[in-house]
Amino acid sequence: MLVSLLVFVTIVAIGIPAAIIFIPLAMITGKVGPLYTACCVIVRVGYAVAGIRLRAEGMENVPKGRACIFMANHVSNLDPPALISHIPGRTAGFAKRSVFKLPVFGYCLKLGEFIPVDRTGNKESAVESIALAKQMLDKGLHITTFVEGTRSKDGRLLPFKKGPFYLAAGTGAPCIPVSIYGTETMMARGSFAIKPGTAHIVFHPPIYPAEFATREELMIAVRSAIASGLPEWMRG
């Protein structure tokens, strides 16, 4: 827990001055880029303090100048900041609606045009979230989604949610499968303790929805790609 406390203190020490400068700047100018970049820098500093090495492979697989949908597996709370801070350009993503109520952090998510989702299974809410994600893609922002919908308890791949594949089929945006591993041993589900180690992020070649007859076939292709970059025991 000492490492977790040190990371928290570091993030607060850097984050408060950054928030004082970049949140008002974003509000005045309407430009979120500097705030987004500052957040990514803070994430990387926090990981360095925790003794976590971030190794990203396959960055060359991400198409340039085109909004993509990044589809990753999910094994730890460390995954979202690690992945988002390595995605070229700016990405929006899905976050629990309750997180948007958190002071400062929730407001930053709103400024960053992240998309609130409900975990209740409400169909209307899901349709609304997909529509907002389409708008972000139309604006040129990437979308990042963890296709299992929740963290895996044991690191093995869970069944995928259908929503991201409705989005992909409806927009034709390239899907970038992403394999994440290593973080499952650094911050286990239900724990705040952080352990040092190496977090691996593998970006696979894009998969184009137009090449598949059904969403199910697209889902199988994405799942196969994600699994190929994971240790064998995590493949489900």
Query: In whole angstroms, what is the distance from residue 128 CA to residue 209 CA?
Result: 21
Enter the tokens of residue 126. 């899901």
Query: In whole angstroms, what is the distance from residue 190 CA to residue 158 CA?
Result: 18
Query: In whole angstroms, what is the distance from residue 86 CA to residue 179 CA?
Result: 13
Domains and CATH numbers, the chain: 53-234 (3.40.1130.10)
pLDDT, one tens digit per residue, over 177-203 is 999 999 999 987 777 889 999 999 999
Give 17's pLDDT tier (boundaries 50, 70, 90). Answer: very high
Give the CA-trace dihedral at 139, 145, 114, 85, to 10 degrees: -90
**DSSP letters of 147-163?**
TTSS--SSSSPPPPPSH
Query: In whole angstroms, what is the distance from residue 184 CA to residue 130 CA?
Result: 29
pLDDT score, position 189: 74
Longest distance between any two alpha carbons in the chain, whole Å:
52
Query: In whole angstroms, what is the distance from residue 5 CA to residue 70 CA?
Result: 31
pLDDT score, position 191: 77
Q: Is the pTM of this model over 0.85?
A: yes
At residue 179, the 3 state secondary structure works out as strand
- Poorest-pLDDT segment among 30-39, 81-90, 164-173, 186-195: 186-195
Using only C-alpha atoms, the chain has a radius of gyration, in whole angstroms, of 17
Instruction: Give the residue from 3, 69, 224, 177 showing the smallest Cα distance to 11.
Output: 3
Average pLDDT over residues 130-157: 94
Query: In whole angstroms, what is the distance from residue 68 CA to residue 158 CA?
Result: 23
At residue 171, the 3 state secondary structure works out as helix
pLDDT score, position 193: 86
Amino acid identity, position 183: T
Strand 142-146 to strand 91-96: parallel, antiparallel, or no bridges (unpaired)?
Answer: parallel
Query: In whole angstroms, what is the distance from residue 129 CA to residue 133 CA?
Result: 6
Give 121's pLDDT tier (boundaries 50, 70, 90). Answer: low
pLDDT score, position 81: 95
Amino acid identity, position 162: K
Question: Under 8 Å CB-to-CB from 194, ≥6 apart: which residues?
Answer: 3, 4, 7, 50, 52, 78, 186, 187
Strand order in the sheet with 142-146: 52-57, 197-203, 175-181, 69-72, 142-146, 91-96, 115-117
pLDDT score, position 67: 97
